[in-house]
């Protein structure tokens, strides 16, 4: 992204106003110091401070340099005898004049340079964020193409079998086909909810609407919704003694918890209960969800949240992957300035995400 060096009329007016305001303020303060308090030593410092502020809040190098010249002239004209007359021939004054001009000009140039460097850094960060969004978008599209195709194929196959072999199928076989259609339809509904969650974040430029919510109640609501979809899986929840209030979008965080619970239920290949632990860690709230199953293959750990679909994964109906759900979890947690990680334990896997208790990010 290139920055134009040509100054607009609005920027010119702004520079003039900033320069005039700070130099006027510096002159007023210097008059108080000189004529009321009799302080002559700090007049030059006051003008140098004005130059620093002008360089900070104006556009470009020119206002600060011009302010340096005006400051030196004001010191000579107003605060150096003979008053209200320019006199650069006084003994020692040329050195003072040159020193003050150099210090003011260097200060202005340094301040303007730092401001320009900060602008460049901000632009690069924006470009990196856009590149990351594009990468995430590509990963999500790749995961969607896999995770939506599989249940749709199952629905089409089961419904075709039901319609074509209606007379020859037994009641149990018909029930099995209808149950498969229902499971695949529920999976598609869950997928749509996930995609709507991501769309909601993208439409607000990754800025979510937060309000302080009790973390335990949000987790409880998520567990109840999870049990409506998968009622046979036991979930044990451990919460701290003190109430943990976290700034969050409760609906989105519920979606994250449900995704992690469904991932644990579908991929752990065990009937052992899922363990949820809520705690605080420094300035962050921590949410741990652990299963006691097979764990995660080591080659997948580094790309687990990138949205890559894996046809080798087995889920509740042995057909669906876990790529898109975890990718959406990362998108939501990142939008909350939190972090999410996954580890293999001695038995099973541990997923952890943190949310800041205040405005700072969790690493």
Looking at the structure, do residues 50 and 158 belong to the same domain, yes or no?
no
C-alpha–C-alpha distance, residues 351 and 344, integer Å: 9
Domain end marker among 125, 143, 166: 125
Looking at the structure, do residues 110 and 141 belong to the same domain, yes or no?
no
Looking at the structure, do residues 200 and 107 belong to the same domain, yes or no?
no
Q: Residue 312's pLDDT is what? A: 43
How many domains are there within the chain? 2
Q: Residue 151's pLDDT is what? A: 77
Domain end marker among 94, 125, 156: 125
The tens digit of pLDDT for each residue in 264-273 reads 888 888 889 9
Could you count the other beta carbons within 10 Å of the beta carbon of residue 171? 7
DSSP letter assigned to residue 354? E
Residue 158 domain flag: yes
Which of 30-39, 93-102, 313-322 has maximum average pLDDT?
30-39
Looking at the structure, do residues 248 and 347 belong to the same domain, yes or no?
yes
**H-run or E-run covering 247:** strand 245-248
Residue 363 domain flag: no
CATH number for the domain harbouring residue 237: 3.30.565.10
DSSP letter assigned to residue 287? E
Residue 334, pLDDT > 70, answer: yes
Q: How far is CA 76 from the centre of its chain?
A: 52
Provide the whole-model pTM.
0.53
Residue 352 domain flag: yes
Q: Residue 237's pLDDT is what? A: 93
**C-alpha dihedral sign at 98, 99, 104, 107:** positive
Residue range 152-180: mean pLDDT, rounded: 87
Looking at the structure, do residues 146 and 233 belong to the same domain, yes or no?
yes
Q: Residue 223's pLDDT is what? A: 92
C-alpha–C-alpha distance, residues 153 and 150, integer Å: 5
Looking at the structure, do residues 263 and 349 belong to the same domain, yes or no?
yes
Beta bridge partners of 285: 280, 355
By the 8 A CB rule, do 290 and 284 touch? no
Looking at the structure, do residues 141 and 111 belong to the same domain, yes or no?
no
C-alpha–C-alpha distance, residues 193 and 222, integer Å: 14
Looking at the structure, do residues 286 and 140 belong to the same domain, yes or no?
yes
Residue 170, pLDDT > 80, answer: yes
Domain end marker among 65, 96, 125: 125
Residue 3 domain flag: no
The tens digit of pLDDT for each residue in 350-359 reads 999 999 998 7
Q: Residue 268's pLDDT is what? A: 84
Residue 4 domain flag: no
Residue 362 domain flag: no
Residue range 8-28: mean pLDDT, rounded: 88
Looking at the structure, do residues 97 and 27 belong to the same domain, yes or no?
yes
Looking at the structure, do residues 115 and 173 belong to the same domain, yes or no?
no
Residue 2 domain flag: no
By the 8 A CB rule, do 245 and 215 touch? yes
Residue 1 domain flag: no
Residue 313, pLDDT > 60, answer: no
Looking at the structure, do residues 64 and 156 belong to the same domain, yes or no?
no
Q: Residue 5's pLDDT is what? A: 55
Residue 309, pLDDT > 60, answer: no
Could you count the other beta carbons within 10 Å of the beta carbon of residue 259? 25
By the 8 A CB rule, do 169 and 180 touch? no
- Average pLDDT along the chain: 80
C-alpha–C-alpha distance, residues 314 and 222, integer Å: 23
User: Does residue 314 or residue 334 have the better pLDDT?
Assistant: 334
pLDDT-derived band at 236, boundaries 50, 70, 90: very high
3-state secondary structure of 17: helix
Looking at the structure, do residues 15 and 58 belong to the same domain, yes or no?
yes
Q: Residue 92's pLDDT is what? A: 58
Of 195-209, 245-259, 279-293, 297-311, give the lowest mean pLDDT range.
Answer: 195-209
Q: Residue 73's pLDDT is what? A: 81
Residue range 308-335: mean pLDDT, rounded: 61
Give the range of the structural domain holding residue 99, as residue numbers without chain letter: 9-125
Query: Helix axis angle, 93-164 relative to 171-203, nearest 10°?
Result: 160
From 216, 309, 211, 226, select the one nearest 265 (Cα to Cα).
226
Residue range 168-176: mean pLDDT, rounded: 88
């Amino acid at each position: 992204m290139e920055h134009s060096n040509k100054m607009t009329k609005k920027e010119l007016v702004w520079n003039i106003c900033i320069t005039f305001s700070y130099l006027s303020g510096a002159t007023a303060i210097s008059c108080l110091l000189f004529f009321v308090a009799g302080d002559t030593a700090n007049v030059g410092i006051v003008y140098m401070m004005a130059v620093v502020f002008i360089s900070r809040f104006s556009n470009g190098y020119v206002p600060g340099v011009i302010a340096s010249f005006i400051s030196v002239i004001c010191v000579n004209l107003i605060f150096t005898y003979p008053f209200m007359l320019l006199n650069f021939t006084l003994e020692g004054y040329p050195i003072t004049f040159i020193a003050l001009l150099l210090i003011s000009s260097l200060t202005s140039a340094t301040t303007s340079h730092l401001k320009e460097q900060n602008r460049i850094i901000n632009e690069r960060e924006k470009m990196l964020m856009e590149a990351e969004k594009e990468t995430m978008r590509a990963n999500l599209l790749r995961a969607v193409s896999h995770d939506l195709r599989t249940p749709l194929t199952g629905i089409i196959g089961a419904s075709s079998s039901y319609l074509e072999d209606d007379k020859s199928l037994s009641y149990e076989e018909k029930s099995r086909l209808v149950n498969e259609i229902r499971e695949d339809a529920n999976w598609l509904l869950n997928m749509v909810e996930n995609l709507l969650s991501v769309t909601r974040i993208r439409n607000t430029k990754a800025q979510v609407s937060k309000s302080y919510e009790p973390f335990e109640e949000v987790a409880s609501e998520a567990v109840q919704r999870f049990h409506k979809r998968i009622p046979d899986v036991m979930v044990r929840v451990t919460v701290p003694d003190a109430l943990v209030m976290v700034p969050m979008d409760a609906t989105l965080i519920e979606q994250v918890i449900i995704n992690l619970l469904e991932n644990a239920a579908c991929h752990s290949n065990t009937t052992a209960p899922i363990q949820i632990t809520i705690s605080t860690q420094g300035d962050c709230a921590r949410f741990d969800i652990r299963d006691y199953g097979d764990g995660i293959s080591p080659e997948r750990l580094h790309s687990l949240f990138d949205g890559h679909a894996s046809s080798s994964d087995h889920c509740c109906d042995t057909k669906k992957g876990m790529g898109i759900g975890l990718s959406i979890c990362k998108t939501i947690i990142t939008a909350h300035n939190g972090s999410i990680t996954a580890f293999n334990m001695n038995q099973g896997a541990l997923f952890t995400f943190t949310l800041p208790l205040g405005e700072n990010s969790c690493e």
